[in-house]
Amino acid sequence: MNGIQELKDQREALCPELEKLESELLPFEAALEIPEGIDRDQERAIRDEFNARKRRIDSIKFEIFRIDQKLHRREAVAEQDARIAEYISGMENWKADKEELLAKRESLSVRLEQVSKKALEDMGKARQAETEAASAYARAVAWGDEEGEKNANDDAQKAAKNLVAATEHNRRQQLMITALEEELVTVDKHVIETEEEYKKLERSALHVAHYALEEKWNAAAQQLLDVGAKLYGAGRLIGYDGIAFLNLDIPEQGENHGHWQLRDISERANHDVMNILAR
């Protein structure tokens, strides 16, 4: 199935003709774009020349495209072990990167939760202290407790200062929270990138494995056909009609997408008795 060098030679042989035709096409294309000074017959002749070259160019490009497809597939099969090993190594690296990022994400999430909770608690305590001091002041005024009023006023002033300090601290905490959230977003993006890169390598590896398994299937099918041919030949020699093979339809995988049927077994069933007895 290899034939890689043969395909490369075919491709290389087509390229000079393609370049020559593309070069020849330019003056005809230019003449058709500005048709002044040429009569209808000349224009038709030019267009015929243009179309003939264009058809051949398209045909060559399609042929090169098909050759490239075959080359891609055959080179992948020929290098399957090295390629799959390389893909697996890359997948393992991306998996390790993802695990490292997830560990960082967990650490960031824990710290973000801690900082957010602490900031909320600190502000809550500062506001509560100010509220309690104000309530104590109001009660002292209501009961005419001058000493209590003085103490409550001192507590209120202290609570107000603490609230200002807590507010400033909270502002800094919010900056930290924002930074942690942004870092989490960045880490999440990197996690997605590792997953995407992992999937790319996984898909590439699966493509190579798919090509290789197609060839393995075809090889196994050939072995089955060889056995079937002997079975069919033995049956024919002893008078069986071979009806069991009538519905045989084995799909060929890979480049050709054909089918192996009864006629393929029949064509191979030219074994003599001793060959059949050897099984």
| Three state DSSP letters for 159-189 | HHHHHHHHHHHHHHHHHHHHHHHHHHHHHHH
Residue 246 inside a domain? The answer is: yes
Residue 188 inside a domain? The answer is: no
Q: By residue range, what is the domain housing residue 11?
A: 1-78
Residue 16 inside a domain? The answer is: yes
For residue 261, count other CB atoms closer than 10 A to its CB: 15
Residue 2 pLDDT = 67
Residue 1 pLDDT = 54
Spatial distance between the Cα atoms of 180 and 182, rounded to a whole number of angstroms: 5
pTM as predicted:
0.75
**Residue 93 tokens, joined:** 């690296």
Residue 73 pLDDT = 93
* Count of helices and strands (H, E) across the chain: 6, 2
Q: Is the CB of residue 4 less than 8 Å from the CB of residue 61?
A: no
Residue 126 pLDDT = 78
Spatial distance between the Cα atoms of 133 and 163, rounded to a whole number of angstroms: 12
pLDDT, block means (10 residues), the chain with 279 residues: 86 93 87 74 83 93 94 94 96 96 94 87 82 78 77 76 78 88 94 97 96 95 93 87 87 90 89 85
Residue 257 inside a domain? The answer is: yes
Task: Kindly list the distances between the CA atom of residue 263 and the CA atoms of 19, 79, 198, 270, in Å, as whole numbers in the listed order.
Answer: 44, 34, 46, 12
For residue 77, count other CB atoms closer than 10 A to its CB: 20
Residue 265 inside a domain? The answer is: yes
Residue 269 inside a domain? The answer is: yes
Domain boundary (78, 102, 129) is at 78
Q: In degrees, to the nearest 5, what angle opens at C-alpha 70 toward C-alphas 65 and 71?
A: 95
Residue 223 pLDDT = 94
Residue 278 pLDDT = 84
* Residues, the chain: 279
Residue 216 pLDDT = 95
Domain boundary (50, 78, 106) is at 78
Number of domains present in the structure of the chain: 2
Residue 192 inside a domain? The answer is: no
- The distance in angstroms from the start CA to the end CA of the chain is 26
Residue 37 pLDDT = 66
Longest dimension (CA), the chain: 128
Q: How far is CA 57 from the centre of its chain?
A: 33
For residue 86, count other CB atoms closer than 10 A to its CB: 15
Domain boundary (78, 97, 129) is at 78
**Residue 272 tokens, joined:** 């003599």
Residue 125 inside a domain? The answer is: no
